[in-house]
Structures are given as C-alpha cells and as structure tokens.
Structure 1
Amino acid sequence: MLRVLVTRRWPEAVEAVLADKFDVTLNGSDTPLTQAELARAMAEYDVLCPTVSDCIDAEVLCGGDRVKLIANYGVGFDHIDCAEAKAAGIAVSNTPGVLTDATADLTITLMLMATRRASEGERELRRGDWSGWRPTHLIGAGLQDKVLGIVGFGRIGQAVARRARHGFGMRIAYHSSSEKSEAKEVDARYFDDLHDLLANSEIVSLHMPGGAETEHLIDAEAIAAMRPGAYLINTARGSVLDHNALADALHSGHLAGAGLDVYPDEPDVPPDLLEVDSAVLLPHLGSATREAREAMGMRALENIRAHAKGHDLPDRVA
C-alpha cells in the first residue's frame, strides 16, 4: 500500500477517503512543515501531497528517492521545482478546473468591494466612526459599461469575463499569448500588447500563472500605463505584481483602489499596503468554498489512484 504524506489539513471527507485507500499520514496540527521535514519525507513516503504553502525546491527534492509522485493540492504549482522533479523521475500533478467558479466569484467580490469601498465602510462602522447617511459619503464607482481588462484568459479569466459581461453589463478586453475563441461569448476585445490593454481598461483583473516568466509582469511601468483612477484586482499569484509599485500608485491616487487575495511571501502582507484604505486585502480565499476544497482533494486523489495503478495521471504537469 502506498505511503502518502498530506502536508496540511484537507477537508474531512477527503481525508477519510485517503485513509481508507492508502497508508496516509495527516498533519493534525495543520502547522506548515519545515524544509527539513519535507526533505525527510522524500525518503519516507511514496507520494507527497503539498499545498501552495510548501516550497518544494531542489533541496527538498534531494532529501530522498522514494517519492515518485507529488500530488499538489491546487492548480498553481510554481512553488514546486518541476524541472528538478522531472530530472529526479518524480511526476507532478495538480487540480485544475474544480476551483474555477469559486475563484471567479471571489474576483467579482474583490471588484465590488474595491469599487464600492465596502471594506472602508465596514471598518468605519466597526470603529464607531459612522455619523449617518449623507450624499457625499464614501462615493465609489459602478460597474455597468466599465471596461474590464483581463490579463490571462484561461478558465478563471473566462469565468470572470462571463460574470462581468452577463451579470454586470461590463465591456470585456483581454490580453493573452494568443486570441481565444471563447472571447466571442462575451464580445471581448483582444489586445496583443499588455500596456495597451492596461491603458484602455478601467478595472484590470490578473489571471496568469505564477513563475519566473510572469514575475512582476505588473511592475511600476505597467501600473503607470493604467488609466488614472483605475482599479487593480489580483487573485492569481502574488509574484506577478510589484506590490511596492502598487502601494505607491494607491498612495499617490493614480489608482483609485485595489483588491488582493494573494501575496508574494504569504502569510506576510506588504506593510505599505496595510496602511492604504483603498486596498481590499483578503487572506487567500479564492478557492475557499466547501465544494471547491473537497473537489480539489478528490482530484488529487484521482491522480494518486492512477499512480498506484501505473496509469497515466489525469492532471500531470511535469
């Protein structure tokens, strides 16, 4: 029977199935494992099941040669050194598709919170500073007819576009490596130049993968290209955005607001952003629905089952 290590707590329903099918070690404390503990696991288990909070780098991968599958709990896998894993003969899988709707919903949530200044209002009310209704209090912006620029038009970007177009009457623009046939459904305009998209969008939402190729893709120059008074939303990866440049743009008023769910060094949040009232900051809740988190676990389980039977992995990424 395969020995499987699950590095963080998963939904109980998924853990129960894993325990029934495999020799599973669960992390009852839900405390992140150290790099040394992860390295030792490479010699003690057949399958390692990490999350975005685990850094599976070359040092960890060199800890042993027993693990032959890294079944990642999540879509993004930039926290795993896939090149080193492949060189060591270790397969890597992820859990695509099952968290699309949850993340798209949260993107819209951040968009509404930022444009309607909802978190500012809640903080004011909880502090006891609300003096009552008045015509000029916390004026925000509506979404109808606004141009939503989507950077990265994969599953989640397309789901956000559908919600924005059909639910709020927004106009859709997008930038990706190539034009997408799915764009026709939402009458989306394609921009092959990122800065052109940024200059033509009133709200920008980021949906590209993490990794070296996209690190700080949205840097100070890109933010300067955005329209004055625009909003920036990020539910992708913290690494794709220069947070210092974003904080400067919010402090100066060049951007009217931002909504963030991901950060470069989680759980740390860039201090400059904590001081900006116009920044809506959530603790990486993109897939945090019961339905999505259970489906993610079951998807990882299917990859482990396939590995155990010697079959092709349904969601192999390396």
Structure 2
Amino acid sequence: MPRFRVVVADFLADALAPERELLGDIADVVALNATSEADMIGHIETADAVMLYHNIAITKETITRLQNCKLIVRCGVGFDNVDHRLARTKGIPVANVPDYGTEEVADSAIGMMLTLTRGINFFNNRLQRKSGDWSYMQGTPLVRLRGRVFGVIGLGRIGTAAALRAKALGMDVAFYDPHKQDGYDKANGIRRVEKLDDLFRQSFVLSVHCPLTEETRHIVGARGIGLMPDGSYLVNTARGATVDATAIPAAIRSGKLQGAAIDVLPIEPPLADHPLLVAWRDPADPCYDRVILNPHSAFYSEEGLLDMRVKGAQACRRALLGEPLRNIVN
C-alpha cells in the first residue's frame, strides 16, 4: 500500500512524536509551521490529510489546489479559519476537535472572573507600582458572588463546564443559546434566557462561549455592554471577533464595566495601535488596572495540548483508512 502524506499546516515545528506515533505506520507526517497561507504553496497540494491549528487560515487559495485530501482537521474547537463550505463542494470533509480543552478553557473563564470580581489583579497592579494606599479601600466596592448572575452566551461543552463551575460558587447561572434544545437548563439546574438583551441586562458577569459565525460576530458590542448593569464584568475565552474589543475602553472608563478579561482577539498578535491595547498599556487609563489580556492561552495545559494533537492525528488516521469520521462540521 502506498504511504500517505499528512501535513501539519501551522503551530507545530518538527517535534511531531505524538503524530508520528499514531500515523507513522501508514503516513509521512510533515510540519510546515506556516505563518501565512502563502507559506504552504508547493508543500500542501499532495497532502492526503491536513492538520490545521489557529495561526493561519485555509481559504479557496489552498482548497482548490488540494489534489488528494481526505480530511482537513481543525485541531481545536473553532473552525472559522477554514472555508468549510467550499471544502464541502470539493468533497473534502472538515472536522474539529471539540473536546480537547473543555476543562482548561472553563477553568480559565472562572479564574478570570474571580481575578476580576475579587479585585486580585486590580490590587496587585496598584501595589506593585506603589499607587495608592496599602488597603482594600482602593478597590471598593466589591460584592459577594453568591446569588449574582453569571451569564453564558453559548451553552456548548465549554459553556456548560463554565456554567457548572459558576453554579458551584453559588451564582445564579443563566444562558442564551437559541440553538440549544430544550431541557439542558433543567438537566444542569440553570436558567435559559430567551432574548439576548435580557441576558445583557441581568448579567453581573457575562462569559462568552459561542463559536464565531456570521450570527455571533460582535455578538457583544457597545450596545449590548450598554445594557449591562453598572459595574459588571466581561470575560471572553471563545473567539476574538465574538466581542467588539474596541468598545471595552469606553465601558471601563464610564464604570459600566468594572473589569474585562480577554483571552482572544481577532488578530493575534494584535496590532500595537489596537484601542484596547493602547488603553491597557497606559498607566493613566483605568483599563491599566481593570483589563486582563492573555495570549490565546486559555486552551493550554500540557495534557490539553497533547489531547489536541492526538485527537487530530486520530481523525486523520480514520480518514486515511476509510473508517467512519467524527466531529464533521461541513
């Protein structure tokens, strides 16, 4: 039987031990470590399967050149960086790995919430640069979390995991997800909110967990934030463009938001002149103490990273051997 060729498009260099352990008996595994789609020209056309992470996109330019591809697997949850609709017309299945980082992202969302709502980041920043008194009074008022509304946009695997963690803290958990079937609210002991605006109005903490689609692009923006209670908090560990991050500085300055924690931005690394970065880096701006930015790291643990790689390679193996595919998104 001829050997297959599996191309790892981005994110990983040539340390491919997990992938080669799973695929080495049937395929050669090559890492391109591409930083743009153009980097793959001349290297990806003969791939029998493609593993894609989040550093680049695969568009018509690449898909139309694929000659033998039996699967594109997005080694992660979100799949907005691959033109899965076009791939379908070319007979190429696109799959994702929806479960690899569920615990890590949910833990990060709750950790960010606690860091904001308990003033942990705020106090640390102020004291570190000797700004203000060595006193809790710098951060008043902070309020008890029990009974406060933890609003979830998108009750998928990660949204559910975050909801259950917030529920364990005694919070009143509400979610908005028009695509979720009835009964998940009762099964998890949480509340469904039928209208997104109502979730905005109720949420002391709003945590975003939806995929990026045309429906969810900027699902949280200036208008929605404006409906939230004064002194509320925003957390985004989903996809960068689900939140219009340019609306955050004004909301922080006005007191509408008491804090925001953002793990993902539409362009990563972000441009230095992004309004949120400019405000976050300015010691004279309230965002300096009240905004937390992370480098798209909520997914990461050593175990989660290995899961992502192993599950992606397993998906390729099934495709190459003609076995039933799982987690197909197109």
| TM-score above 0.5 | yes
**Per-residue CA distance 1:269-308 (angstroms, 9 max, x = gap):** 6732232121111111121011111111111112111111
- Match 2:305 to one of 293, 300, 304: 293
2:320 counterpart letter in structure 1: A
Q: Is the 8 A contact 1:124 1:130 kept in 2?
A: yes
Query: One-letter code of the match for 1:70?
Result: I
Name the SS for the 2:159 alignment partner. helix
Tell me the SS of whatever aligns to 1:149. Answer: strand
CA contact (8 A) 1:4 1:46 kept: yes
- In 1: Cα distance, 2:259 partner to 2:270 partner: 20
**Cα distance in 2 between the residues matched to 1:131 and 1:200:** 33
The residue identity in structure 1 corresponding to 2:264 is V
How far 1:175 sits from its partner (Å)? Answer: 0.7
Query: Take 1:75 and 1:110, find their aligned partners in 2: how far apart are those partners?
Result: 20
- 3-state SS in 1 of match to 2:324: coil
User: Deviation at 1:125?
Assistant: 4.2
Compared CA separation, residues 107 and 180, structure 1 to 2 (3 A): farther
Q: Which one-letter code corresponds to 1:20 in the other structure?
A: G
Question: Which position in structure 2 is the counterpart of 1:151?
Answer: 153
Q: 1:26 — aligned with what?
A: 31
Aligned to 1:45: 47
CA drift at 1:186 = 4.3
SS at match of 2:38: helix
1:198 CA displacement: 0.9
Write the distance in 1 (CA, Å) between the matches of 2:16 and 2:235: 32
Residue among 308, 312, 318 paired with 1:306: 318
Bigger mean CA deviation after superposition, 231-240 or 112-121: 112-121
Cα distance in 1 for residues equivalent to 2:87 and 2:245: 30
> What TM-score results when the alignment is normalised by the length of structure 2?
0.88
Alignment check: 8 A CA contact 2:7 2:51 kept = yes
Partner of 1:316: 328
Cα shift at 1:116: 2.3
Backbone CA RMSD of aligned residues = 2.1
Q: 2 CA distance for matches of 1:284 and 1:163?
A: 21
Q: For 2:46 and 2:219, locate their aligned partners in 1 and report how far apart those are by CA, in whole Å.
A: 39
Give 5+ residue unaligned stretches, structure 2.
280-286
Point out where structure 1 has 5 or more consecutive residues left out of the alignment: none
C-alpha distance in structure 1 between counterparts of 2:187 and 2:110, whole Å? 18
User: Alignment identity in percent?
Assistant: 32
Please state whether the residue corresponding to 1:195 is helix, strand or coil.
Answer: helix
SS at the partner of 2:138? coil
Is the CA contact (8 Å cut-off) linking 1:50 and 1:71 kept in structure 2?
Answer: yes
Cα distance in structure 2, aligned partners of 1:308 and 1:135? 60
How far apart are the structure 2 equivalents of 1:66 and 1:18? 20
Offset, 1:13: 4.9
Residue 211 (structure 1) aligns with: 213
Could you say which residue in structure 1 is the equivalent of 2:18?
14
Query: Does 2:173 match 1:169?
Result: no
What residue number does 1:237 align with?
Answer: 239
Structure 2 CA distance for aligned equivalents of residues 153 and 180 of structure 1: 12
Tell me whether 1:133 sits opposite 2:101 in the alignment: no
Which secondary structure state, in structure 2, belongs to the residue aligned with residue 214 of structure 1?
coil
The corresponding residue for 1:279 is 291
Q: Cα distance, 1:131 vs. partner?
A: 6.7
The CA deviation at 1:61 is: 1.5
CA apart distance, 1:249: 1.1
Q: Which amino acid aligns with 2:30?
A: T
Give distance in 1, aligned partners of 2:134 and 2:159. 37
Partner residue of 2:282? none
CA distance in 1: counterparts of 2:320 and 2:311, whole angstroms: 14
Distance 1:19 1:124, change over 3 A: farther
By how many angstroms is 1:122 displaced?
3.2
Q: Is the 8 A contact 2:150 2:204 kept in 1?
A: yes
Of stretches 202-211 and 18-27 in structure 1, the one that deviates more from structure 2 is 18-27
Of residues 198, 202, 205, the one that matches 2:204 is 202
Distance 2:49 2:123 in 1: 47
Alignment of 1:25-174 (within 5 A): 25-27=30-32, 30=33, 32-127=34-129, 129=130, 133-139=134-140, 140-166=142-168, 168-174=169-175
Q: Is the 8 A contact 1:113 1:280 kept in 2?
A: no
Aligned residues: 313
Partner Cα distance (2:191, 2:233) in 1? 19
Q: Is the 8 A contact 2:74 2:312 kept in 1?
A: yes
Secondary structure of residue in 1 paired with 2:139:
coil
**AA partner of residue 285 (structure 1):** S
CA distance in 2, matches of 1:253, 1:138: 13
